[in-house]
Amino acid sequence: MKIPVGVLGATGTVGQRFVQLLAGHPWFDLVAVAASERSAGRSYREACAWKLDVPMPAAAGALVVQPAEPGLACEVVFSALDAAVAGPIEEAFAGAGYAVLSNARNHRMADDVPLLVPEVNPEHTALIETQRRRRGWRGFIATNPNCSTATLVLALAALERRFGLEAVMVTTLQAISGAGYPGLPSLDILGNVIPFIGGEEEKIERETGKILGRLAGAAVTPHPATVSATTTRVPVVDGHTASVSVKLGSDPGLEALAEAFRAYRGVPQERGLPSAPGHPTLLLEQEDRPQPRLDVNLEHGMASVVGRLRRCPLLGYKFVVLGHNTIRGAAGAAILNAELLRDQGLLRRA
């Protein structure tokens, strides 16, 4: 028996990715799509400006878009809502008994809300019990990180667990699809680099600490590593690249780092979760990789693709990391979170 699920914000960039990834999912059955009152009442096919390079799943196209309010005939909702409206809508669903798997930034840093990367911190789902008790909710909210943080933190975790981590300097080159649809005007982004993405640097710096942090009682103690981020928008359609320098707790040598990336596995791989990449930190050996156009879909867009591993004269080691911003950085991440929660027995409706 598949679990019936819905997507809030189903017409947007991330919402479309959810609809694509949920079609034919072995555990989840997409039965409801919801969006703003501009879209509600129309068929998904009419309401959605479908922008993916695969056809819209026929069953989803026939669904009628509903208002984003409790009453959807499902137990689990994936939220791809605009952050301007996500906060209270997600709370209303959690209060009404739904499991809410959110992409939006609104609740990520709340003490009682897990910010999950299943390979890195699956034990942080214990916060759900605290959240329910504290807020009196029958349902709950669990979140996935910001799109750049999602792939950065996988690579950092592969190193941190073996060698310790003291400092991170990261500069991102982020794709246009990260800004939603219609996104940036072409005259602003074509042939250009924009060295500012509002709020993004702070998200990377704070979310990384929470994800790598240790669960202590009813809260997470952030990891003490210092993270310094610069974020830029570049004329790439899909795939956020980042140049990363790290100061580790020891000096294990380049081959040990390479082996740490190659060997890194977590609960999703051990448990065989359907969306888990075989290699969560996939190390490429070629000197000019990873590249978004060539490598963003490796491991079905669910890996942190690492390359250009070398010594850094400032911090010790540096590398480049690439991740698919709407798959591992958004919809795919939330679906993997839902798979983890089901595997832990936490997806049942209260």
Ligand X SMILES: NC(=O)c1ccc[n+]([C@@H]2O[C@H](COP(=O)([O-])OP(=O)(O)OC[C@H]3O[C@@H](n4cnc5c(N)ncnc54)[C@H](OP(=O)(O)O)[C@@H]3O)[C@@H](O)[C@H]2O)c1
Is residue 100 classed as helix, strand or coil in its secondary structure? strand
- Helix (H) or strand (E) run with residue 3 in it: strand 3-8
DSSP 115: B
Q: Residue 209 corresponds to which amino acid?
A: G
Instruction: Give the sheet arrangement for strand 316-323, strand by strand.
Output: 226-233, 165-174, 240-248, 316-323, 304-312, 281-283
Measured distance CA(16)–CA(51) in Å, rounded: 8
Q: Is position 13 an interface residue for ligand X (rule: CB under 6 A)?
A: yes
Positions marked active-site: 147, 240
Q: Does 60 bind ligand X (CB under 6 A)?
A: no
The nearer residue to ligand X, 85 or 234, going by C-beta atoms, is 85
Residue 76: name the closest of 350, 275, 302 by CA.
Answer: 350
Q: Which is nearer to ligand X, 36 or 243 (CB)?
A: 36
Sheet holding 140-143, edge to edge: 66-67, 28-35, 3-8, 76-79, 99-102, 140-143
Helices then strands, counting H and E runs in the chain, come out as 12, 14
Partners of 232 in the beta sheet? 173
173 to 212: interface string for ligand X, x by CB under 6 A: ----xx-xx-------------------------------
Minimum distance, C-beta of residue 33 to ligand X, in the bound complex (Å): 9
Q: Please, what is the minimum distance in Å from the beta carbon of residue 38 to ligand X?
A: 4
Which position has the token pair 């301007």? Answer: 84
| Binds ligand X (CB under 6 A): choice among 4, 23, 29, 36 | 36
Q: Does 39 bind ligand X (CB under 6 A)?
A: yes
For 75, 134, 227, 229, the CA distances from 170, given in Å and listed in that order, are: 38, 36, 8, 5
Q: In whole angstroms, how close is the CB of 197 to ligand X at the nearest point?
A: 11
Dihedral of CA 117/155/274/295: which sign?
Answer: positive
Q: List binders of ligand X among 82-101 (CB under 6 A).
A: 82-83, 85-86
Tokens of 138: 């029958």
Asked if 237 is part of the footprint of ligand X (rule: CB under 6 A), the reply reads no
323 binds ligand X (CB under 6 A): no
For position 74 contacting ligand X by CB under 6 A, the verdict is no
Total chain residues near ligand X (CB under 6 A): 30
For ligand X, the closer of residues 61 and 252 by Cβ is 61
Smallest distance, Å, CB 82 to ligand X? 4
Residue 52 in the binding site for ligand X (CB under 6 A): no
Q: Should residue 113 be labelled a site residue for ligand X when binding is judged by CB under 6 A?
A: no
Residue 6 lies near ligand X (rule: CB under 6 A): no
Does 20 contact ligand X by CB under 6 A? no
Tell me if 275 sits within 8 A of 335, measured CB to CB. yes
CB of 323 to ligand X, least distance (A): 10
Interacting residues with ligand X (CB under 6 A): 9-15, 35-36, 38-39, 68, 80-83, 85-86, 103-105, 147, 177-178, 180-181, 325-326, 329-330
